[in-house]
Amino acid sequence: MAELSRIVILTGAGVSAESGIDTFRAAGGLWEQHRVEDVATPEGFARDPDLVLGFYDMRRAALEKVKPNAAHRALAHLEREFSGELLLVTQNVDDLHERGGSTDVLHMHGELRRALCASCGVRSEPDGPLIDRPQCPACEAKALRPDVVWFGEMPYQMERIYAALTRADLFVSLGTSGAVYPAAGFVQEAKLAGAETLELNLEPSEGSHLFDESRQGPAGTLVPRWVDEVLSV
Ligand code: BJW
């Protein structure tokens, strides 16, 4: 492996699967248990806020029962030891990267542990279920929604991500199906800018053919191995 100075890593639900968090599109995954239009769109929230708040309250509570796995810990180790620039972008709304030791994580689809006030736009960390309609700590409106990005909404910090992609010499995609844009298009952005591209996923994803290299297997095995390769150069 050539010496690297700027790496962008994109993670998806597969990175947290071995911690016991359901992925979205697998058989028995979240989108088989719930209709995506009902729980992950602004229109679904407007139609039935209790259903949506209950869905995210349940997933936030479930976070207390799971732990980071070897893939999260390996990425935190990479953050500590890599001497170049590293941007860790996750589509995941869980906090397992942080609990695994990563300190700079860009949550492009938001975070389960945070709420967004639909009235004043302030973000906060609620200490109880949103279905109980707690007040916004800033404006006191009872208008808190999960601080997550639904279909049709703009993912967070896209400028920072695209800036890093255009400077990267390696883009790595971990545990994501490549079914959701704009994240699914990052591989092409990185390639256009001249980066090498690598996919680590349990199985070939929808976009596997777009990567220079694609390795298949569980993240808990593949990610620590890849991190060792990077740090040994
Ligand atoms: C393992 C493993 C193990 C398992 N080890 N691997 C038509 C064409 C193109 C685009 C569109 C279109 N119509 C609409 C759009 C846009 C739309 C979109 O992409 N739709 C597609 C369905 C086509 N996108 C949007 O609306 C986005 N906004 C947007 O585009 O704004 C405009 C814009 C324009 C220009 C620039 C920028 C923006 C918003 C998307 C929001 C997605 N939100 C969700 C919910 C978040 C909250 C929540 O968690 O509930 O995000 S949906 C869901 O999918 C979630 C995930 O982050 C996201 C991706 O899923 P992920 O992580 O890939 O999970 P899975 O389950 O799909 O895959 C898991 C993978 O892991 C699998 O491959 C397994 O094999 C693997 N795996 N175990 C390693 N142990």
- Rounded mean pLDDT of 117-125? 97
Summarize pLDDT for 147-187 with one digit per residue, the tens.
999 999 999 999 999 999 999 999 999 999 999 999 999 99
Summarize pLDDT for 62-97 with one digit per residue, the tens.
999 999 999 999 999 999 999 999 999 999 999 999
Contacts 24+ apart (CB under 8 A), 97-101: 97/11, 97/68, 97/72, 99/67, 99/68, 99/72, 100/68, 100/69, 100/72, 100/73, 100/75, 100/76, 101/68, 101/72, 101/73, 101/76, 101/77
- Rounded mean pLDDT of 20-45? 94
**CB of 58 shorter than 6 A to ligand 1:** no
**CB of 145 shorter than 6 A to ligand 1:** no
Q: Distance of alpha carbon 68 from its chain centroid, rounded?
A: 14
Q: How confident is the model at residue 206 (pLDDT cuts 50, 70, 90)?
A: confident
Res 126: pLDDT: 95
**CB of 37 shorter than 6 A to ligand 1:** no
Measure 134 CA to ligand 1 centroid, in angstroms: 29
Residue 27 has pLDDT above 90, yes or no: no
Residue 50 CB neighbour total at 10 angstroms:
10
Res 55: pLDDT: 96
Q: Distance of alpha carbon 203 from its chain centroid, rounded?
A: 18
The ligand 1 atom at the shortest distance from the C-alpha of residue 152 is 26
Res 2: pLDDT: 73
